[in-house]
Structure 1
């Protein structure tokens, strides 16, 4: 049950990665896939077990010994959101630049062919 969320995230991330054909767009899709799969995994575990099991314990020096607990799904959600918030400001610019490059490549192909 622990790795169900990881497998779901892997399938979703690979699927979304093949949908997006630009590097910046792919990264956004991977972030969304991780966040959605992590949330889905937590929901499935809560429905099946009645609770979500936190099995990773972190020691945070400022707070104390048993201060932070998480599970793989929580890490996927946070990681996915970090990817989205880091890439999102550049997403539109990346998409426009990649569209211009693709247009130039298509024009070059049509002129040479």
Structure 2
């Protein structure tokens, strides 16, 4: 069985963040994509650039995904991120369009020291 488009997008999402590749990361999203995050709702290319360019890429997280559940255009996965002495555990849920671009992503997380 082949990997779903959403599962491929989720893996590319982790890979580009781990590589510190803001442009590659933004290319994964549709122009009108929405990211729902505890810091707020970020909609459209400019807001996604602001969010990922301010909060995520500069933190240089080392992310590892697990617990993948994917079916076609939807993927949910757990991830663990290490950043500067902090460990973050997250549950991410994304939806892709017919081209495989992320159109919606919801992120929930908790952080603890080391």
**Fold shared by both chains (TM-score > 0.5):** no
- Structure 1 length normalisation: TM-score? 0.24
Larger Rg: 1
More strand by share: 2
- Structure 2 length normalisation: TM-score? 0.24
